[in-house]
Structure 1
């Protein structure tokens, strides 16, 4: 999957709520109530990531989870990152 150009990244990012560009990645922080909630959320994200065969970088800190998405093999953002971001947002809304 090819790396996206800056214009396409801006278009796709505009369609995602709360995701921000940081270098060659998009990131978002999720509040999960407590540590157990954070771990459960990450487990649900892991299931989707495995389905898509595309995995985020994850940071857990008690009641929050910070996810960072990039396609390491392409050295930047691809459509896969934005698909995973959309799927993660759907999980968070449940």
Structure 2
């Protein structure tokens, strides 16, 4: 799997909801309405990550959860990261409904 160029990664991030390229990864921070809502979001993302066999780095700070995506085995951002970002966006949008 090929690593995306900086331009490709920036273009992909621009098409995603709230994502940016930072420190070599795609990142998005989401503020949930409560701590437990954030934990539920993490749980659902974890299920999707297990299914895809592609796992984000996750940082939980009270109600704010930050997801970071990079394909460590390839040394950069790949299409797998963009696909997982889309999955995370779908999960979060369902939780907001």
TM-score (norm 1): 0.93
> Where does structure 2 lack aligned partners over 5 or more consecutive residues?
none
Q: What does residue range 1-94 of structure 1 map to in structure 2 within 5 Å?
A: 1-94=1-94
Residue by residue over 1:8-66, the C-alpha shift from the partner in whole angstroms, topping out at 9 and shown as x without a partner, is 22221221121011121010011111111111110000011111110000011111101
What is the alpha-carbon distance in structure 2 between the residues aligned to residue 93 and residue 26 of structure 1? 18
Contact 1:49 1:84 in 2 (8 A): yes
Moved over 2 A (4+): none
The 3-state SS of whatever aligns with 1:21 is strand
Residue by residue over 1:58-84, the C-alpha shift from the partner in whole angstroms, topping out at 9 and shown as x without a partner, is 011111101100001111100000000
Contact 2:27 2:66 in 1 (8 A): yes
RMSD of the alignment, in Å? 1.0
> Where does structure 1 lack aligned partners over 5 or more consecutive residues?
none
What is the alpha-carbon distance in structure 2 between the residues aligned to residue 24 and residue 55 of structure 1? 16
TM-score (norm 2): 0.91
Contact 2:35 2:62 in 1 (8 A): yes
